[in-house]
Amino acid sequence: MGKDKIDIKALQDIPPWDWPKDADRTFLGILRDDQADESDRLVAAELAGDFTVINDELAEVLLSIVRSSDEPENLRGRAAISLGPALEYADMEGYEEDDDDFDYPDDVPISEETFQQIQDSFRRFYMDADVPKEVRRQVLEASVRAPQKWHQDAIRA
């Protein structure tokens, strides 16, 4: 894990377009390792939401962190926030298929299925009183980037 620790700290100071091609693998390794240093996992969660690396696999790992009551609250919240930009972009660009031309993965970093899974999960997390208040707030903050009907009542509350 020493190599990952050095890499994650170095990646924090490098523009995302200069990251190595396997940066997503570095983030996945750290995020999946519940024995990794919490500060490294926080940095990995933050960086994993960048458009240069976010994909279905990273989104699913971030969502699993948000879902897990065994994870620290600050990591759960950071993972939720990191999903916000992908949700917003997917919501703005949409998932339209032109005839048989199935090219949206180049345009939108996460699949429509993953987008819907995140939105459905975020709604459940927000409505679940057992989820810590700060995590629920960050889930809502990320989720409103792709507006849903339930957001209006949540914001009023």
Three-class HEC string of 41-66? HHHHHHHHCCCCCCCHHHHHHHHHHH
For residue 95, what pLDDT is reported?
74
Percent of residues, the chain, with pLDDT higher than 90: 68
For residue 104, what pLDDT is reported?
46
Strand partners for 101: 98
Q: How does pLDDT run across 24-78, given as a tens digit for each residue?
A: 999 999 999 999 999 999 999 999 999 999 999 999 999 999 999 999 999 999 9
The residue-averaged pLDDT of 118-135 equals 94
Which residue type sits at 119?
Q
Q: How does pLDDT run across 23-33, given as a tens digit for each residue?
A: 999 999 999 99
**Confidence class of residue 152 from pLDDT cuts 50, 70 and 90?**
confident
Q: How far apart are CA 117 and CA 123, in angstroms?
A: 10
Angle between helix axes 38-48 and 23-32 (nearest 10 degrees) is 140
44, 63, 126, 154, 155 from 150: Cα distances, Å: 30, 19, 10, 6, 9
Q: How does pLDDT run across 8-18, given as a tens digit for each residue?
A: 888 988 999 99
Answer whether residue 2 shows pLDDT above 80.
Answer: no
Q: How far apart are CA 48 and CA 122, in angstroms?
A: 18
Helices and strands, number each (H, E), in the chain: 9, 0
